[in-house]
């Protein structure tokens, strides 16, 4: 993943296009958020002086960080190779912190630059970064805590038809206060899938260690593939204590925004790491976590805007998985001109230049699906001037 180091990006224009939210397949709720009736997507678009474009999903609510930290550097590093200006981007967000939105925005800008670089070379990004295959394993995700048993059954049917061999469902119903129904729902799903699919659960951080052990005792460690974020993601002492007292695989990582946290998670006993490329501080930071998983024989998976995430997973071991949260993600696919296809439990990446997902802008503008657009041009953005006052 070093080919980009010598690339030069003479940026002339940047825009953010906000697309109209799409109704979810099923209104979706988890332990600590929801219900979500719809889901949206915003795209950052970076254009160089030769007209080449790179795009990626982006947070659309933090223009102040983009305008203060990142855009001034992007616009005013003419002739400077990536390996010299990316550290400037990285350290520009120091005072915003490396554990929140600023770090995610850095990674989103970085993904757009990778897209631009690959399009200039007319090759898919997965080949640009050294991916050795064009298919990656998918795992099924859904099972909102608000789902009826019929809705669970319908969703599982969709995933079985797609060839998924693992289904992750949400538990922690009613902000973690209704464990008995969680237990009944998991047992129902286990009976439904039989030996055809493994089952994992996601608690979205709502429980205590005591709650987790109570749940595991009721279900059985051997009945679950993993349990995800069962307690607060910042409670590292409790996470370590939990890992010491169960053989069940514990998964964490999707709440993190930097690779620097992941060695500590591994040291706590986490066996399944989940960096999210569209919410992470850069493509090379994702690679750091991938390398950590390979070095310590840990499970690796990634979610977020999962079709985008597929390209990075092509560089990982074949056991690496991409989460597909069907209820939220499926509706957005009407916006995609190009996207990975799904069959036999795998995402198959297209051979089109750039990222494996590209927006059908002709459709979006024709159907008035772009609800807001903000454009920055080089002459409008001053040179970088770090702010150190409050």
Do residues 146 and 169 make contact, with C-beta atoms less than 8 angstroms apart?
no
Kindly provide the residue ranges of all beta strands, DSSP E only, lying in the chain, ordered along the sequence: 11-28, 36-48, 53-57, 135-142, 166-170, 198-202, 227-228, 250-252, 272-273, 299-302, 321-325, 336-338, 341-343, 346-348, 358-359, 370-377
Residues in a beta bridge with 322:
138, 302
Summarize pLDDT for 29-85 with one digit per residue, the tens.
Answer: 999 999 999 999 999 999 999 999 999 999 998 899 999 999 999 999 999 999 999
Instruction: Round to whole Å and give the CA distance between 176 and 32.
Output: 8
Residue 379 vs residues 180, 306, 376: alpha-carbon distances, Å = 60, 35, 9
Three-state secondary-structure class, residue 217: helix
Do residues 54 and 116 make contact, with C-beta atoms less than 8 angstroms apart?
yes
Instruction: Look at residue 16 in the predicted model and tell me its pLDDT.
Output: 98
Instruction: Look at residue 132 in the predicted model and tell me its pLDDT.
Output: 86
Q: Which residues of the chain, if any, have pLDDT below 70? A: 1-2, 388-390
Residue 6: Cβ-neighbour burial (10 angstroms; 0-12, 13-18, 19+): exposed
Instruction: Look at residue 3 in the predicted model and tell me its pLDDT.
Output: 85
Structure tokens at 341: 């296809």
């Amino acid at each position: 993943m070093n080919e980009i180091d010598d690339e030069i990006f003479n940026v002339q224009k940047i825009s953010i296009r906000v697309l109209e939210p799409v109704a979810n397949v099923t209104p979706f709720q988890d332990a600590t958020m929801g219900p979500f009736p719809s889901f949206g997507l915003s795209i950052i678009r970076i254009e160089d002086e030769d007209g080449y474009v790179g795009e990626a999903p982006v947070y659309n609510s933090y223009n102040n960080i983009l305008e203060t930290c990142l855009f001034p550097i992007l616009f005013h590093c003419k002739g400077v190779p990536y390996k010299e200006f990316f550290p400037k981007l990285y350290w520009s967000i120091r005072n915003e912190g490396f554990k929140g939105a600023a770090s995610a925005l850095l990674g989103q800008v970085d993904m757009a630059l990778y897209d631009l670089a690959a399009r200039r070379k007319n090759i898919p990004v997965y080949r640009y970064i050294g991916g050795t295959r064009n298919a990656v394993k998918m795992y099924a995700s859904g099972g909102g805590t608000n789902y009826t048993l019929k809705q669970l059954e319908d969703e599982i049917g969709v995933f079985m038809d797609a060839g998924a061999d693992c289904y992750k469902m949400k538990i922690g119903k009613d902000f973690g206060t209704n464990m008995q129904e969680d237990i009944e729902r998991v047992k129902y799903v286990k009976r439904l899938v039989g030996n055809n699919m493994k089952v994992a659960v996601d608690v979205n951080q709502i429980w205590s260690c005591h709650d987790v052990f109570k749940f595991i005792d009721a279900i059985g460690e051997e009945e679950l593939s993993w349990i995800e974020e069962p307690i607060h993601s910042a409670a590292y002492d409790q996470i370590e204590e939990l890992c010491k007292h169960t053989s069940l695989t514990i998964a964490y990582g999707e709440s993190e925004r930097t690779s620097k946290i992941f060695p500590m998670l591994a040291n706590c006993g986490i066996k399944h790491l989940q960096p999210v490329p569209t919410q992470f501080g850069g493509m090379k930071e994702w690679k750091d976590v991938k390398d950590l998983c390979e070095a310590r024989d840990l499970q690796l998976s990634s979610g977020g805007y999962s079709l985008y995430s597929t390209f990075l997973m092509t560089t990982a071991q074949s056991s690496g998985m991409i989460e597909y949260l069907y209820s939220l993600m499926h509706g957005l696919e009407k916006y995609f001109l190009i996207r990975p296809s799904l069959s036999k439990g795998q995402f198959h990446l297209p051979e089109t230049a750039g990222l494996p997902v590209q927006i059908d802008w002709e459709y979006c503008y024709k159907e008035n699906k772009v609800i807001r657009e903000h454009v920055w041009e080089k002459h409008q953005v001053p040179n970088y001037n770090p702010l150190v006052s409050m």
